[in-house]
Each structure stands twice: as structure tokens, then as C-alpha cells.
Amino acid sequence: MDGTPSLIAQVGQRMMAGFDGPRLDDKFISLVKKWKIGNVILFKWNVTDKEQLQELCEDIQRLVIQETGRPAFIAIDQEGGAVSRLSDDATRVPGAMAIAATGDPANAYSAGKITGLELRALGVNFNLSPVLDVNSNDANPVIGVRSYGERPETVIRYALPMMRGLDDSGTLSCGKHFPGHGDTSVDSHLALPVVDKTMDELRSVELAPFQAAVEAGIPAIMSSHIVFPRVDPGKPATLSRQILTGLLREEMGFQGLIMTDCLEMKAIQHTVGTVQGTVEAIKAGADLVLVSHTAALAADSAEAILRALESGELDPEEWEQSVERIAALKADYLNRPAPDPSIVGSDAHRRENLDLLGRTLTPIRMPENRFPPLGDRPYFAGCPVFRATQVSNLANDPLSFPVYMAEKLGGQAEVTPSNPTAEEIAAISERACGATSIVVGTYNGHLYPGQLELVNRLAELDAPVVAVALRNPYDLRSLSPNVWSLAAYEYTAQAFDAVANVLQGKTEALGKPSVTVLTN
């Protein structure tokens, strides 16, 4: 291997990598030692509880400082709601669309502040949030409730306070996914999406929140693996110099850190390939490239970047600017004092969060301004949580909406398939006969229509039916008009408790949807 250690160290500063499991493994340790990788991304599989996470972050910093002489960015996707990596003993705030349903941007600031304080207390210094995508396509399989809404002004109104809350906690924020992932019907984790919009169309919708965030001083922006053929017909945004440098740097005036989404995603891996993708992303204008999972791919990528640097394929002046940009952000944020770990999952944070969560519940259809009484034989139905998108956590959660609700409120639980067939719907409906009320939890039912067919079939029975959307509220759009409906935005125990309080009449559901659900 050619090259001086100083160049290798610079390559390592421009990379972020990850590993499996709750402890540093030998492959990752070797990667850091050989290639001086200076930054780490964590996922749900890296976290078991708050004490373990704090110890892991200490181990990461010890290793990276020993090998590079500088502290590491330790990043995580703690957006809240559907995309939360922290364990249950930490505070998990509601997601973006739920926060917007409260109607108060101060709640977005509170969510950012709580999240940032707890991350910093545990040793995580970089939150890959807020999502700046405008969810203008309700068939979007990857954004949905991760977006604040379907209009750019809604996203701006809530994303910027979230950013400020993170910043005031001492945690770096990162707006994503530039120039916008909201109008796709393809998950870039699985394939390469295309958004065929003109620059004027992009400026009026997708780019507006990013421009507002740039002007508000957001420290980092993440690129998307999406082709915008009217801007650059040949390349996804992550690999497009026209988009990252021409548009984001020069036209929009962003001077902060540009980082890529993971280059192991199939949108890149199955086209130019991860290794070449890291080189192309740097040439396009990215400062920090992510190879989030595979140590061997990260090592090959580091070697390819080093060769490109030594051969003159990478602009030396831009290279130096990126290295300095990373160093400046580390000097600023990573030296800020961390809160005491006792703040993580504290009673004060939990109370504030439960109050916030209660404000997110959104009635979509509520005849007579109330939900029906459950009676003495309620029937709860719904599918288990599943991995709706690759950005979600692995679907190994034993939590079940119908089982949880029946144990809490009494009655019968029916665990249904994620997309029940006509025969399964008929059998479930027969078993529901005689119930005094029926409550069905849906989970991405607008993309798995068997769930909605089940709700409508149950609505033909004598008992009142309540549908609760436990991810995207679009599920509630095509239900029979005699079905009561409620958007809860997340499949978690804390959301189930809040729903139970509403169904029992203990609390009111006061949220207002930030996306169009009913048009009549």
C-alpha cells in the first residue's frame, strides 16, 4: 500500500463506517487501525440499553482517538417515532408527522432538545435528523411519517425548531435527504428512484426546506441516492457534481458538511458499486462518505479513495477544504460538555414526552365528536409490526397491538396477517361476531390493502369499528364512512397506552393532520 500515514489519516477522517452487534468486533477494530477510520454510525443492533450504549461510545472514542489523534463523530438515526434506535430505557420522542399534528412548533424544539441531551449524555454526538423531505407522494414507501408534512412550509415550520433543539443540546444535526426523497414510490435502499421534475418544480417544493435550513445554519446535509434527470440525467444526487456542488454549494450557499446516505444501499451498490461510489461521491462534492455495514467494503473504499487522491483524480484544494470542514465541526461540537447520564430516560423527560405524545393523536373521522364505548366484549385486531422499509429497525419486536390492548383493556385479541386474503378476512369477521366494539390497528395499510378490506368487512357487523393507523395516516383514507378513525403514527407501547386513554375517554385526541387524509 502506497501513501503516507498522514494521507491515510485524512482518508479515514472522510469516512464513516459501522459494525454489527453491541460491542466493537475484530473486523471493525482492524479497519480503524489500518485505515484510521475517524467516524462511526450506530444502528438499533448496536444498542441493548443505555449503560451498554454509553460504554460502547466510550470504547469507540478510545479506539479512534488512539488511532487517529482526533475524536470521532458518532452518528445515529434518532428521528423519533418510526425511526428510533435508542432502547426503551431512553426517551423516544414522537416522529415528525406526529409532532406536526400537534400544531405547535415549540413541540418540535422540545423533541430535538430532549433527544439531543440524551444522545450527548450517552456519547452520541451526531443525530441524522431532521428529515427535510416533503412527503408529497403518499405511496412513498420510505418517508411517510418521517416527514413533517406534504407542504414545504409545514416542513420548514417544524424541522427548523427540531434542528435548533438538537443544536442547543450540543448535538450536531443533519438535514436529509437532499435534494428531496418525498416524491418517490421506490425505496432507495432497494432500487434507484427517479424524480422527473424541473428545477422550478424542485425549488418550489423539495428544495424549499433545504434552503431554509441552509439559511438557518444547519451544520450538515445528507444526500439522497435519487436520479433527477432534468438536473443531471446520468447520476443520482449523491454522485452528481451538478447537484452537490453546483446546486447545494454554489447556488444555495451551503458551507457546512455534505455527507452521503449509506453507499451500501442497492441504489448505489447495484449500479456503480459501493467502492467506486465513494470516489464518485467525493468528486461530486461530498465531504463524508458512509459505508455503514461491511468492514471489507469500507477497507476497499478507503484504498480506492487513497489511490484517487494520490493519482490526482481528486481535487487537492477541495480535499483540503473538506478535511478542514470536518476538523472545524469536531472542534466546535465534540468539545461541548455532555449532560450527566442520569438525564437519559429521566422522570422529567418521560413526563414531558408522554404529554407531547398525547397531543399527537389525531382523530380523522369521529362522529358525534367522540369514540364509541368499548363495552364488555371488545375485539382487538391487527398485524404485528413488520419492516416497512429498510431504514426501519429489524422486525423482531414481539410487541403486538391486539394482544397489548386486550391485556390492558380486556376482551379478545386477533393477530392478523399483514395483508389478509379474502378467505382470512371472512374467517376473522366470523370470529368477531358478538363483540361489543371492534378496534383494528393498521400498519401501512395503504400499501397492504388487505388490512383495509378487513376493516371495511368488519364495519358490516353490528359492533362499532375504530381503525387506528399505527404508521401512515393514509391508511384511513378509503375506509367505510361508518368507521371511527384515529392516527397514532407509531407502533410502540407508549402509543398504544395513549390510544387506550382516548378509547376509554380519559383523554381527548386533539391533533390535526399535516397531510391530506380525507377530502370530503
**Structure confidence by residue, pLDDT tens digits, 215-235:** 999 999 999 988 898 999 878
34-48, 80-94, 172-186, 303-317: range with lowest mean pLDDT? 172-186
Res. 390 pLDDT band, cuts 50 70 90: very low
User: Among residues 177, 181, 189, 293, which one is catalytic?
Assistant: 189
User: Does position 358 have pLDDT exceeding 60, yes or no?
Assistant: yes
What average pLDDT does range 160-181 have in this prediction? 96
Query: What is the distance between the alpha carbons of residues 203 and 404, in angstroms, rounded to a whole number?
Result: 45
CA distances from 242 to 223, 286, 362 (A): 13, 12, 41
**Structure confidence by residue, pLDDT tens digits, 330-340:** 999 999 999 99
User: Does position 520 have pLDDT exceeding 90, yes or no?
Assistant: no
User: Does position 393 have pLDDT exceeding 90, yes or no?
Assistant: no
What average pLDDT does range 95-116 have in this prediction? 98
53-57, 239-243, 380-384, 444-448: range with lowest mean pLDDT? 444-448
Mean pLDDT of the residues in the chain: 93
65-74, 140-149, 238-247, 448-457: range with lowest mean pLDDT? 140-149
Task: Tell me if residue 2 is catalytic.
Answer: no
pTM of the model: 0.94
User: Does position 51 have pLDDT exceeding 50, yes or no?
Assistant: yes
pLDDT score for 398 = 82
pLDDT score for 2 = 42
Phi, psi of 18 (to 5 degrees): -140, -175
Res. 7 pLDDT band, cuts 50 70 90: very high
CA distances from 323 to 6, 12, 247, 288, 311 (A): 12, 10, 21, 9, 18
Residue where the block lists cell 426546506: 209
Cα dihedral sign for 460, 461, 465, 469? negative
Contact 268, 276 (CB under 8 A): no
User: Does position 94 have pLDDT exceeding 70, yes or no?
Assistant: yes
Residue where the block lists cell 402509543: 495
Res. 188 pLDDT band, cuts 50 70 90: low
pLDDT score for 193 = 75
User: Does position 138 have pLDDT exceeding 90, yes or no?
Assistant: no
What average pLDDT does range 395-422 have in this prediction? 92
User: Does position 394 have pLDDT exceeding 60, yes or no?
Assistant: no
178 strand-pairing partners: 223
User: Does position 1 have pLDDT exceeding 50, yes or no?
Assistant: no
% the chain with pLDDT above 70: 94
Query: What is the distance between the alpha carbons of residues 335 and 327, in angstroms, rounded to a whole number?
Result: 12
Which value, in Å, is the radius of gyration of the alpha carbons in the chain? 23
Give the list of residues 6+ apart from residue 299 with CB closer than 8 angstroms, or none: 31, 34, 35
pLDDT score for 374 = 97
Residue where the block lists cell 450538515: 220
Res. 181 pLDDT band, cuts 50 70 90: confident
Query: What is the distance between the alpha carbons of residues 260 and 237, in angstroms, rounded to a whole number?
Result: 9
User: Among residues 77, 183, 232, 261, which one is catalytic?
Assistant: 261
3-state SS class at 386 = coil
pLDDT score for 186 = 54
pLDDT score for 139 = 76
Task: Tell me if residue 347 is catalytic.
Answer: no
User: Does position 111 have pLDDT exceeding 90, yes or no?
Assistant: yes
Query: What is the distance between the alpha carbons of residues 342 and 90, in angstroms, rounded to a whole number?
Result: 10
